[in-house]
Structure 1
Amino acid sequence: MEELMKTKIFKVTVERLLLNGGQTLYMVGWSLLIGTIIGMILALILVLCRKGGLVENRPLYMIVSVYINVVRSIPFVILLVTIMPITRAIVGTTIGSTAALVPLVVYISPYLARLMENSLLEIDPGILEAAEAMGATTWQVIRYFLVPETLGSMVLALTTGTIGLLGASAMAGYVGGGGVGDLALTYGYEKMNTPLMILTVVILVVLVQLLQILGNTISGKLRQHK
């Protein structure tokens, strides 16, 4: 096993390839989990507090909406550098996969919020009116009507968000975040190792295809069981 780990592929050891691949999965997994939770909260605020919503609150709606628009308008690389003081305050460093989680979460949560908002707005208003007529509380409407009725669309939204997050995690390698991006930059571009750069591109393309197929499959099954 030790010899296998030291085997080189395009001048890079298998151990290094697995390490960087694991870093990418770590960054995407945790930032997607945290970003999904924050994104769902933001999306529910947008849907419930909008004009005519179940808990109409225009000031809160405008604050959240403006925040989402501002963050989404900033390219990830610029956002990555801009919030470095915040990253350092939270994590204690700006280098490494864990430090990259902060900008990744800040980047993906508003992105997911808009996607989830669109999914939640697909629900028939008549269903919500019927729920209100039956005396359902806001939490009950969310739990038993809003989320279950839009699960199929939500999965597609998360799939799109995950693919965007995968690309952002690759850019995190630019500032020492590790992962596939760091592999392509440090061991590929800087060392003029074109075959390795092509390999990283192929890996990312394959991952995106697998994610999209998985998302489409799950979404289709959820829609069939509605």
Structure 2
Amino acid sequence: MEYLKVLFEENGSMIAQGILDTLYMTFTATAVAYIFGLPIGILAEVTRKGGIHPIPFLNKILGLIINIGRSIPFIILLVAVMPITRIVAGTTIGPKAATVPLIIAATPFVARLIENTLRDVDGGVIEAARAMGANDLQIIFKVMLPESLPSLIMGASLATITLVGYTAMAGIVGGRGLGDIAMRFGYYRYQTDIMIVTIVLLVLFVQIIQNIGHMVSKKIDKRGKGEN
């Protein structure tokens, strides 16, 4: 216990800043990725063969974009988009810069999550809404999204957890955060204690996000069953 006290007295401010940087990168990238990924995922589901408004050509383009985006390993993407990062963020170092490749990596992942989640909506519910005169937009926003909300929330927690792992990789190219601390001190300077602390903190983040997502999703599910 005394050893941990000394460790945090000497490195507490650095670890605290690493936590803040990790949270900033994770939640900023998740939010922006959903801004871009949500409409792409909805369009991919709506325009597929058997969707509520099939457009095969557009669906193939969207599918290609999503597949290409998901196929590039994040560590390669970090380096490949550095020119874009410099234009958007004005730098290639720090949390703000790391957020750019995080958004690019997360957007196709989010789009696929949204597409797959909406595909699980009961077709009978959609047909019933159509029979009552609902148009495509009404079906999307009043039937498909509300019906799949619990699964969408679980998907959001999964996307956020994935980005926590990506932020750790961003530390390799100076993205800061806990990943950067683990690399600079735990790996390069052989400070195993700091490496262990960063790993424990990252595991805690993942567990907290997963538990919150599960709790909120379960609560919404119960509410829906109660109303039915």
TM range (shorter): over 0.9
Specify the SS of the correspondent of 1:54. coil
Query: Which residue does the alignment assign to 1:154?
Result: 152
CA deviation digits over 1:64-100, x for unaligned, max 9? 1111111111110001111111111212211111111
1:77-88 aligned within 5 A? 77-88=75-86
Query: Which residue does the alignment assign to 1:138?
Result: 136
Specify the SS of the correspondent of 1:9. helix
Indicate if the aligned counterparts of 1:27 and 1:98 stay in contact, CA closer than 8 A: yes
Q: Distance between the aligned counterparts of 1:12 and 1:44, measured in 2?
A: 49
1:104-115 aligned within 5 A? 104-115=102-113
Indicate if the aligned counterparts of 1:12 and 1:187 stay in contact, CA closer than 8 A: no
Q: Distance between the aligned counterparts of 1:192 and 1:78, measured in 2?
A: 26
CA deviation digits over 1:3-31, x for unaligned, max 9? xxxx8626852111111110001001110
| Cα drift, residue 137 of structure 1 | 2.3
Unaligned residue ranges in structure 2 (runs of 5+) = none
Equivalent AA in structure 1 for residue 24 of structure 2: Y
Query: Which residue does the alignment assign to 1:163?
Result: 161
Residue 14 (structure 2) pairs with residue 16 (structure 1): yes
Query: Which residue does the alignment assign to 1:118?
Result: 116
| Cα drift, residue 44 of structure 1 | 0.3
CA deviation digits over 1:27-62, x for unaligned, max 9? 011100011121111110111000122221111111
Deviates more, 1:130-139 or 1:112-121: 130-139
Residue 199 (structure 2) pairs with residue 198 (structure 1): no
Query: Which residue does the alignment assign to 2:181?
Result: 183
Q: Distance between the aligned counterparts of 1:10 and 1:18, measured in 2?
A: 10
Query: Which residue does the alignment assign to 1:45?
Result: 43
Query: Which residue does the alignment assign to 1:3?
Result: none
CA deviation digits over 1:149-188, x for unaligned, max 9? 0011111111111111100011111111110001111122
Query: Which residue does the alignment assign to 2:70?
Result: 72
* 4+ aligned runs moved over 3 Å, structure 1: none
Equivalent AA in structure 1 for residue 38 of structure 2: M
Percent identity over the alignment is: 41
Specify the SS of the correspondent of 1:14. helix
The TM-score with structure 2 as length reference comes to 0.92
Q: 1:59 aligns with which of 44, 53, 57?
A: 57
The TM-score with structure 1 as length reference comes to 0.93
Equivalent AA in structure 2 for residue 125 of structure 1: G
Specify the SS of the correspondent of 1:55. coil
Equivalent AA in structure 2 for residue 83 of structure 1: V
Q: 1:98 aligns with which of 80, 96, 99?
A: 96
Q: Distance between the aligned counterparts of 1:96 and 1:80, measured in 2?
A: 13
Q: Distance between the aligned counterparts of 1:92 and 1:206, measured in 2?
A: 32
